[in-house]
Chain A
Amino acid sequence: MKLITAILKPFKLDDVKNALQAHGVTGMTVSEASGFGRQKGHTEVYRGAEYTVDLVPKVRLEVLADDAEAGAVVDVIVKAASTGSIGDGKVWTTPVDQVVRVRTGERGPDAI
């Protein structure tokens, strides 16, 4: 199993969510996040001196997927999140040892 984590532009969340639902993904976790990559936030110039690099607001989306499905899910996210401009975000996967559905106690892929 894999945990797929995506950092996205906030306005792209709805597109990604819809695309994932259309692909058959039934659950996800979304949180507000801030950070910067190559986009480097905003550089302010004040009285001739550059200062402060603001953190840019982003959305963090997490989805659990079976190993066989993970690649396709990543593709769906990347396709839906892309605008082609800087700051579109990143997607990565992490191996997951165990998943348990709290209500039923189901484990492994059944719990996804």
Chain B
Amino acid sequence: MGTRERRERSNESDRYLLSLFTKALEKTGKTSKGLALAAVGGYGRGELSPGSDLDILILHQEQFSQEILSEFVNNLLYPLWDRKSVDHSVRTRAQTRDAAESDLKVALGLLDIRLVCGDTDLVALVQADNLENWHKNARNRLTELKESLSNRHERSGELAYLLEPDVKEARGGLRDINALRAISLSGTVRVPLERISWAESKLNDIREALHVTSGRNKDRLLFQEQDAVAAKLKYSDADALMSDVARAARSVDYLLDFTWHQIEQKGKDGFGRFLRKPRTDVVAQNLSVSQREIVIDPHTDFATDPLIGLRAAATAAQLGLPISLDSYTSLSNALKENKAVLPNPWPREAREYLISLIGAGEAMIAIFEALDQEEIIFHWIPEWLALRSLPQRNVLHRHTVDRHMVETAVRAAALTRKVHRPDLLLFCALFHDIGKGSEEDHSLRGERLIAPLAKRVGFPEEDVAIIKLLVKHHLLLSATATRRDLDDPATIQSIVDVIPDLNTLELLHALSIADGEATGSGAWSDWKATLVADLVSRVKKAMTGSSTVAKQPVISAEQLSLAQTGILHVNLEKRENGYSIEIISPDKTGLLSLVAGVLNTSRLDVRSARTKTHGNSAVMKWIVTPEPYAPEVTAEYLRAEIERAFNDATHIEEKLIARAEAYAAIPAIPVPDPVVEIFNDGATEATIIEVRSHDRPGLLFRIGAGITQSKIDIRSAIVTTLGAEAIDTLYVTEISGGPLSTARADEVASRLRLLLK
């Protein structure tokens, strides 16, 4: 079993064909001048599996009469049909050229043409014709090829993830490898075929073993065949075989995706790409967008900027763009040389990049797959290696364990507005099945494995406890809702006993939905969703005294004494990757919006804020990170800017509009709509407005402006950014004091929703 055997099988067929050709030719009494027998397709490459068809082309120059030619062909083929399955055509050089032009399959087969016997020159001419045409019409032929591939993928599905895949036809299979070779031969882009040589020989071996063990020429790896094929290839079991199938298919698929992207870019740029320097936009520190790819600045010192990889992945995913192959290579090399090692625990910024990457929805899949293919992810998360292409031979599941978790994260990204800790939801979605791959209960093993990972990623202890709980109980709601009596108070109590608060409950609910949806229709349906939602609503009712709303900040004695002076006070403290800014200011209408605007126009990105009014003063604490290449700021500068804005804020609005326009020009991925919710809080006599939205420049300024337009007062604000998601909680009152009426609250909510659209 292997390349040598396939080549030997091909040589044997060559010898047999030569004998038939010689005999048939003798009967005609002619010479072989102008007559040739050539192998095309897989046979042309000398890759013959036991069940492979012999694809042959009989070339002639019309030197025979029709009868003699027919007799020759019959004499050649009849004995062959008794032994092999043959796919043949009889053509002249011109007919071959026409057939290749009108039929993509013929052109592709001819790319592998090889002389078996007869006129060497004739075969060489046909080969040259086809290559020349393939080069000349590359643009149209590749468009045609892409369409045919996508139709085939639609029909045959993905080799890496199907339980019973077709190793030849499915996406990532042998036909795709041939397509890559064809693209390479077109000379349009360089295709690093050496990256898939392992995959090619592996898939060919598996196909060959399948033909041998099944005794048929079918290429679909059915359940019933998998054990025998695994044994034939000396795998420990069928799971190990399917894991290799998935790994091979993923590497092919990755290279194919990457190659199409290159071709597309080349099509857009034309030859201008080589004549002028491409436009480059800086999007983050050491990162720019060039040719619609994220590029790591070649001068980046990975040792001093170890976060560059995570930043590149997060930025690429959030913009919906790929990372350039050169950037992946330099990052991968730096990691191999231990140059871009992340500290343990990761700093907050690194964790936020990871969350932004996970939270990018569909756009995350391609980036994550690339990080896997380039073996970068294992440097950050070594735990992923054990899950790589891990099959789950379970009829409910569509995907391997790793891909299932990625799919769960994609579903979770659509549910981030339904929870108050989107970061925990996204993290748990990506790692909820980390415990799979052993005989032990995967939920219990997962709880054990997730803790060190969560700590290393930098989650504080209290978050690690929630993460452990979510991983351990990720099947709890589904199992309880379908198997226990929801009318029985003991059922509800059993959940309340395990889930400590509403925050965790809504996280577990969202995780259950994401997990179920990602698993497939067999595991999740409207029917099951209704049962789980019913259970959650009953548990919520039983959880009295728990609230998801952020608490108002507390003012320290020192801040209080400064607030009583009534003077604008700005204190700036440099922190790792940013500043902590304390502002104590006379309270003014629209203060939150003004300060947020000043910070934004100073190119400082707000990560969190706590503000509270006290008498006629407001105390604010902001944590900000500067944008790439933003100028250094000082407390004096900010104080002057805030004072200037107190007098006239039009310049801030103008700048923000300009920035919003520039931001709109950057590509973006689809994100869930913002959510605005309003509650009344009897304890503080304030109305609480909670805005959950995708983070974007000027978000807080807009919210603040909406509040100011509504002529209400902000008593305190709690602003949190988690990865790419923002949760802003505002405690507001009427200017005259007291909470908002229902009608006023509805009016404010509608205004905010409109402003944030």
Taking Cβ atoms with an 8 Å cutoff, the residues of A that contact B are 9-11, 13-14, 32-34, 54, 57, 83, 85, 87
CB-defined contacts of B482 to chain A, threshold 8 Å: 10-11, 13
- Give the dominant DSSP class at A's interface: mixed
CB of B528 within 8 A of chain A? Answer: yes
Taking Cβ atoms with an 8 Å cutoff, the residues of B that contact A are 481-487, 525, 527-528, 530-531, 534
Tally of A-B residue pairs with Cβ under 8 A?
Answer: 29
CB-defined contacts of A10 to chain B, threshold 8 Å: 481-483, 531
Which of B481, B483, B485, B527 contacts A32 (CB under 8 A)?
Answer: B527
* Contact indicator B483/A14 (Cβ below 8 Å): yes
CB-defined contacts of B486 to chain A, threshold 8 Å: 11
* Contact indicator B527/A11 (Cβ below 8 Å): no
Residue of A nearest to B482 (CB): A10
CB-defined contacts of A34 to chain B, threshold 8 Å: 527, 530
- Complex A-B: 20 CB contacts under 8 Å: A9-B485, A10-B481, A10-B483, A11-B482, A11-B484, A13-B483, A14-B483, A32-B525, A32-B527, A33-B527, A34-B527, A34-B530, A54-B530, A57-B528, A57-B530, A57-B531, A57-B534, A83-B485, A85-B487, A87-B487
A34, B486: Cα distance in complex, Å: 16
A54, B530: Cα distance in complex, Å: 10
Residue of A nearest to B480 (CB): A11
* Contact indicator B484/A57 (Cβ below 8 Å): no
17 more A-B contacts (CB under 8 A) besides A13-B482, A32-B527, A32-B528? A9-B485, A10-B481, A10-B482, A10-B483, A10-B531, A11-B483, A11-B485, A11-B486, A13-B483, A14-B483, A34-B530, A57-B527, A57-B530, A57-B534, A83-B485, A83-B487, A87-B487
Residue of B nearest to A83 (CB): B485
CB-defined contacts of B531 to chain A, threshold 8 Å: 10, 57
CB-defined contacts of A33 to chain B, threshold 8 Å: 527
A32, B482: Cα distance in complex, Å: 11
Residue of A nearest to B485 (CB): A11
B532 smallest CB distance to A (angstroms): 10
A89 smallest CB distance to B (angstroms): 13
A32, B525: Cα distance in complex, Å: 9
Residue of A nearest to B531 (CB): A57
CB-defined contacts of A11 to chain B, threshold 8 Å: 482-486
B486 smallest CB distance to A (angstroms): 7
B121 smallest CB distance to A (angstroms): 60
A65, B244: Cα distance in complex, Å: 47
A87, B528: Cα distance in complex, Å: 17
A14, B485: Cα distance in complex, Å: 12
Interface pairs A-B: 7 shortest CB-CB: A32-B527, A57-B531, A11-B484, A57-B527, A11-B483, A57-B530, A10-B482
A57, B526: Cα distance in complex, Å: 9
Which of A13, A32, A87: most chain B CB closer than 10 A?
A32
A69, B485: Cα distance in complex, Å: 30
Which of B485, B527, B530: most chain A CB closer than 10 A?
B527
A6, B486: Cα distance in complex, Å: 20
A32 smallest CB distance to B (angstroms): 4
A2, B289: Cα distance in complex, Å: 69
A98, B484: Cα distance in complex, Å: 37
A33, B485: Cα distance in complex, Å: 17
A13, B534: Cα distance in complex, Å: 18
CB-defined contacts of B534 to chain A, threshold 8 Å: 57
A67, B329: Cα distance in complex, Å: 72
CB-defined contacts of B483 to chain A, threshold 8 Å: 10-11, 13-14
CB-defined contacts of B527 to chain A, threshold 8 Å: 32-34, 57
A75 smallest CB distance to B (angstroms): 22
A58, B534: Cα distance in complex, Å: 13
A33, B531: Cα distance in complex, Å: 12
B541 smallest CB distance to A (angstroms): 13
B620 smallest CB distance to A (angstroms): 38
CB-defined contacts of A87 to chain B, threshold 8 Å: 487
Which of A9, A34, A54, A57: most chain B CB closer than 10 A?
A57
A14 smallest CB distance to B (angstroms): 6
A14, B482: Cα distance in complex, Å: 10
CB-defined contacts of B485 to chain A, threshold 8 Å: 9, 11, 83
Residue of B nearest to A9 (CB): B485
A54, B486: Cα distance in complex, Å: 16
A8, B531: Cα distance in complex, Å: 14
